């Protein structure tokens, strides 16, 4: 027996017959100045946190740190959606230079997404002082 609504379906004996795949959600929010100070204190931090492509994308913008902060949040949100316990920042790359942003997963993040059989969609936002991202794995 199945239910189009995606909810749990019970058989006649009251046992769970099927369970629709549930979306996994991660969210992160960051004060942009906090990342800006961290990058100023540790110049090589950007190389550890962001891929060459992410740094190049941000460098082409008026306020690069704002775009890096949104990408930092996206990486954190993806890690939360996948329930990653340990991962490398380079395993999650935010792509986007036209159209909605998307992620490229590799390493432990890619392995976890494969294990869960999910794809990730992200949404980024930022204001002058804050950056945020949401990731949905389904």
91 CB-side CA count, 13 A: 17
For the packed helices 32-41 and 64-81, what is the interaxial angle rounded to 10 degrees?
A: 100
User: How remote is the C-alpha of 11 from its chain's centroid?
Assistant: 37
Q: Decide if 5 is inside a domain.
A: no
What confidence score (pLDDT) does residue 12 get? 58
Question: Which residues 6+ apart lie within 8 Å of 124 measured at CB?
Answer: 70, 71, 73, 74, 94, 101, 131, 132, 133
Q: Decide if 95 is inside a domain.
A: yes
Q: Which pLDDT band holds residue 3 (cuts at 50, 70, 90)?
A: very low
Q: Decide if 10 is inside a domain.
A: no
Which CATH number characterizes residue 46's domain? 3.90.470.20
Q: Decide if 91 is inside a domain.
A: yes
Q: Decide if 39 is inside a domain.
A: yes
Is the pLDDT score of 1 beyond 80?
no
What's the rounded mean pLDDT across residues 20-46? 94
Domain of 26, in residue numbers: 22-137
Tokens standing for residue 87: 């991962």
The DSSP letter of residue 24 is: E
How many angstroms separate the CA atoms of 16 and 28, rounded? 34
Q: Decide if 81 is inside a domain.
A: yes
Q: Which pLDDT band holds residue 6 (cuts at 50, 70, 90)?
A: very low
Q: Decide if 69 is inside a domain.
A: yes
Q: Is the dihedral of CA 82, 88, 94, 95 positive or negative?
A: negative
The domain tally of the chain equals 1
In tens, the pLDDT along 72-121 reads 999 999 999 999 999 999 999 999 878 899 999 999 999 999 999 999 99
Considering the chain, what is the average pLDDT of its residues? 89
Q: Decide if 17 is inside a domain.
A: no
Q: pTM to 2 decimals?
A: 0.84
């Amino acid at each position: 027996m199945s239910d189009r609504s995606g909810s749990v379906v019970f058989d006649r004996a009251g046992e769970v017959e099927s369970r629709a795949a549930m979306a996994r959600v991660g969210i992160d929010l960051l004060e942009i100045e906090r990342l800006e100070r961290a990058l100023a204190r540790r110049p090589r931090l950007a190389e550890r946190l962001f891929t060459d492509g992410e740094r190049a994308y941000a460098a082409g913008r008026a306020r690069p740190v704002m775009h890096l902060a949104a990408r930092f949040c996206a990486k954190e949100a993806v890690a939360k959606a996948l329930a990653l316990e340990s991962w490398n920042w380079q395993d999650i790359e935010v792509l986007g230079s036209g159209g909605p942003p998307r992620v490229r997963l590799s390493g432990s993040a890619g392995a976890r997404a494969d294990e869960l059989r999910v794809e990730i969609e992200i949404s980024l936002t930022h204001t002058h002082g804050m950056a945020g991202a949401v990731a949905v794995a389904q």
